[in-house]
Structure 1
Amino acid sequence: MIDPRKSRWNRRAVLAGAAALPLMSFAREEAMKDRAGRAGMLFGVAVRASQLREDADFRAAITRECSVITPELELKWAWLEPQRGQLSFTDADQIASFAARTGKAMHGHALLWHLSIAPWAAEALGDNPDWTIVRRFLASVIPRYGEVTNTWDVVNEPMEMGHRMDGLRPSPYLAAFGPDYIRRALEDARLFAPRAKLFINEFGLDYDFQVERDKRYLLLKLLEGLKKSGAPIDGLGMQAHLEIAKQAHFDPRALAQFFDDVGSLGLEVRISELDVKEADGTLPTAERDARVADAVRRYLDVAMANRAVGTIGCWGLTDRYSWLESPGGKAGANRGLPLDSALHPKPMYHAISEAYALRGG
């Protein structure tokens, strides 16, 4: 955990503010970060700087519940450098400062992602495949957050089935540098963050469809190749965007085998973006919440049986700020995050808490 007294992000004037945080409705329950800590693990969520700035109750919930926070947008290339040479760290710095003063780590997400490359950079790489353009970006970002960030998603979502035999996704990076761009990015990230853990982060690995079986197989081949080449990779982020409509295709044995295969490479696994997309918003709220919790519980039962898993992270903490669309066209938020829109814990919250108990938390 980051010591805010030693961090460049420390702001002495705000340290006293923690004592004044509003009490949450679940104050008598044990905080999730404490359950995770007893299990030797972490609990994290994705946040936006604007949410931390504008919502005091949300800040209080994050402060209480989380041991690590992930900037949802603010470390992505298109956000940081929309114009060449004009980097703006204001929002990322705010998240880093909040993390430091509340004793949390900030997970670095995500350095290279096909959907967040700055348009000028994509154009420049198309005209002239010059790795120094990528290296300059990495050098500008990674060392800046070295005191508060000890894990990075170096490459986000590099896989997509149906294009190539190796399963790599067509992207400006692949077009400019070929498959070796992943290794080069990891090596540069290690250069700029020699003590951080470096991850590839991927989705669509959770169910027993042919496309997901193929993706797991080819992703393992990629990881094996990176390890064999000596690339500095420390782990895999499994996004775990679960869907109620796909639960009939959940095969715990296949998922357990994948966790085993990743762990056998000496890699850590982060459950990095856990949430649940509902299928039917017309059901009673209690039934909706029970279905969400059941999907999470079944998934985490498999994950927690494997010691390679070290973090559970959700893509948001509360339905108040869910990115998921309302299910079935019904008005009202998707209920696929641990807290509801009023910041009350739901059955999903307890399913995660129970998962830590499987590890002694």
Structure 2
Amino acid sequence: MLPAPSCQKPPPHPIRPQASRPRGSTSGRASRAGMKRRQLLRHAIALPAALPGLASSRALAAIQGGPRVAFGIAAQTRQLLTDPGFRDAVVRECDILTPELEMKWGFVEENQGSANLAPADQMSNFARRFGKRMHGHALIWHKSTPDWAASQMMTNPDWRIIDAFIQRIVPRYAGVVESWDVVNEPFADNGRPDGLRVSPFLTAFGPDYIRRAFERARSLAPTAKLYLNDYGFLYDDSESEARRTAALRLLEALKKHSVPVDGLGIQGHVDLERTGTFRQETFARFLKSVADMGCAIRISEFDVREHETAIPVEQRDALVADATAAVLDVAADCPALVSVTCWGLSDRYSWLPLPSETAGLNRGLPLDSDLRQKPMYRALMKALRR
């Protein structure tokens, strides 16, 4: 479907200001309310003046009535520490933070015995400071396995190698990380009857590595929600159908043997070139099958990949918003949906490339590079309040 969507992303594009700015002015009442808010938060963070005509996701929830499904984003610690505008947008908009890189094994322990936990500590401290929940990503993932660990697993299979990392990372963030991607991207289109990806984990320990990882994570995080997470479930084609079938079979087997899997993370990487093969009824049936097993559902890595950039920005944004609504309206109708996390908040830090360097930034995230809400943002929030 897509190239390794949650892999260690390339460096973000440079910040390129967009042409237009929002116009208008706030009322005196809104200005006074904003001043009070800034006074309350002065010692926590310097928030920018409210953008005219815009409301945060929380404000929209209050205006439109009632709670919504939780909204999260993936970010990197350095973005939060070095970009005040982006940091403020995250504080304003998000319920849940997912570290894009900072809790992955290859990032934490690139060299055996030398742990780099400072960036993850900084993000968890940020989450505590501003009352954000955190989702841990990811304990077991073939692409974030250090070379030394993969080599040892292949030559001398020893579960203690994996166990040492899980034990190092999970208890450390027990007070702030409320859920984990325990096994990330275990499926592949390789002809295996069980649909499992051939990885160092599968080669060394067989399919049972999944059970062992979940049981170890549960022993260290008894109250956290534990997820399988993968991509390739969206479309009405043979590839996606094979992945959906493999996921349902695995979840059924894990549940049958009382493995502590709480839910499925569905990476919502939408590709505008493939929207013609998306069928809402097919996706809805899959979600219902997952929910009928008692599994929670996270849309875990939502973004939209563009391909056509020679059309006006307004048309591009409308296409992105329509694709967002098509997927998330179905997800929001499923009672098992607990959250939607975008893989990024602003185009400023999008990992998605465009066909050429002159095309600018991919516009497949809720805020543009100037941190202004786009039609995608409104489609997203509308779906979360269905």
TM-score (norm 1): 0.92
The answer to which of 38-47 and 75-84 deviates more is 38-47
Q: Secondary structure at the match of 1:276?
A: strand
2:137–2:181: 8 Å Cα contact kept in structure 1? yes
Moved more, 337-346 or 323-332: 323-332
Contact 1:33/1:43 (<8 A) preserved: no
In 1, Cα distance between equivalents of 2:60 and 2:70: 9
Over residues 318-361 of structure 1, what are the superposed CA-to-partner deviations in whole Å (9 max), with x where a residue is unaligned? 00000000146642010000000000000000001111221xxx
> Where do residues 158-177 of structure 1 align in structure 2 (5 Å cutoff)?
158-177=186-205
Counterpart residue type for residue 193 of structure 2: M
Give the whole-Å Cα distance in 1 for the aligned partners of 2:287 and 2:113. Answer: 41
The equivalent of 2:32 in structure 1 is none
> What whole-Å deviation, never above 9, does each CA across 1:74-102 have from its counterpart, x for those lacking one?
00001000111111101101110111100
Query: Could you state the TM-score of these two structures normalised by the residue count of structure 2?
Result: 0.86
Matched, 1:20 2:46: yes
- Out of 359, 368, 373, which is 1:331 matched to? 359
Q: From 228, 240, 252, give the equivalent of 1:224.
A: 252
Of 78, 89, 110, the match for 1:61: 89
Among candidates 316, 335, 340, match of residue 307 of structure 1: 335
Query: Alpha carbons of 1:259 and 1:197: their partners in 2 closer, same or farther (altered >3 Å)?
Result: same
1:51 to 68, 73, 79: 79
Match of residue 8 from structure 1: none
Decide whether the 8 Å contact of 2:72 with 2:342 is kept in 1: yes
Residue among 273, 277, 282 paired with 1:245: 273
The 10-residue stretch of structure 1 (298-307 or 22-31) with the greater mean CA deviation from structure 2: 22-31
How far apart are the structure 1 equivalents of 2:285 and 2:216? 31
Contact 1:76/1:109, CA 8 A, preserved across alignment: yes
Confirm or deny that 1:42 pairs with 2:32. no
Tell me the distance in 2 between the aligned counterparts of 1:56 and 1:263. 39
Contiguous gaps of at least 5 residues in structure 1 = 1-14
| 2:325 maps to amino acid | R
- Equivalent runs, 1:216-295 vs 2, <5 Å: 216-295=244-323
AA aligned opposite 1:23 = A
TM-superposition CA deviations, 1:36-93 (whole Å, max 9, x none) = 9943521000000110111000000000000110000000001000111111101101
Partner of 1:347: 375
Q: Where has structure 1 moved over 6 Å in runs of 4 or more?
A: none
What code does the residue aligned with 2:279 have? D
CA contact 2:54–2:373 (8 Å) conserved in 1 = no
CA distance in 2, matches of 1:118, 1:208: 35
Deviation string 1:158-184 (CA, Å, 9 cap, x unpaired) is 000124110000100000000000010
Q: What amino acid does structure 1 have at the position aligned with 2:351? A: W
> Is 1:123 aligned to 2:123, yes or no?
no
TM-aligned CA distance change 1:126 to 1:27, over 3 Å: farther
SS in 2 for 1:281: coil
SS of the residue 2:192 aligns to:
coil
- Partner SS state of residue 198, structure 1: strand
Q: Which amino acid aligns with 1:191?
A: S
User: CA separation of 1:41/1:292 partners in 2, compared to 1, >3 Å: closer, same or farther?
Assistant: same
Partner of 1:7: none
Match of 1:77 in 2: 105
Note the aligned Cα RMSD (angstroms).
1.7
Tell me the alpha carbon deviations over residues 135-155 of structure 1, each in whole angstroms, 9 at most, x when there is no partner: 111000000000000100000
Aligned to 1:31, which of 49, 53, 57?
57
Q: For residue 74 of structure 2, give the secondary structure of its aligned residue in structure 1.
A: strand
* Structure 2 unaligned blocks of 5 or more: 1-40
Shift of 1:35: 2.7
Which residue of structure 1 lines up, in the alignment, with residue 121 of structure 2? 93
For residues 34 and 167 of structure 1, what CA distance do their matches in structure 2 show? 42
How far apart in 1 are the matches of 2:108 and 2:380?
33
Q: 1:26 to 1:295 in 2, by over 3 A?
A: farther
Partner of 1:195 in structure 2? 223
Q: Against the structure 1 CA distance between its residues 40 and 289, is the aligned structure 2 distance closer, same or farther, given a 3 Å change threshold?
A: closer
Contact 1:33 1:67 in 2 (8 A): no
SS of corresponding position for 1:74 = coil
- After superposition, the Cα gap between the structure-2 partners of 1:27 and 1:155, relative to the gap in structure 1 and judged at 3 Å, is farther
Q: Choose the corresponding residue for 1:104, options 127, 132, 144.
A: 132
Q: Give the aligned residue type for 1:224.
A: E
Aligned residue number for residue 17 of structure 2: none
Q: How many residue pairs were aligned? A: 345
1:144 matches 2:172:
yes
* Residues 90 and 178 of structure 1, relative CA distance in 2, 3 Å threshold: same
**Shift in Å at residue 27 of structure 1?**
7.1
Tell me the amino acid that sits aligned with residue 264 of structure 1: D
Aligned to 2:333, the other structure's residue is in SS state coil
Q: Deviations over 1:269-293 (max 9, x none)?
A: 0011000001201110000000000
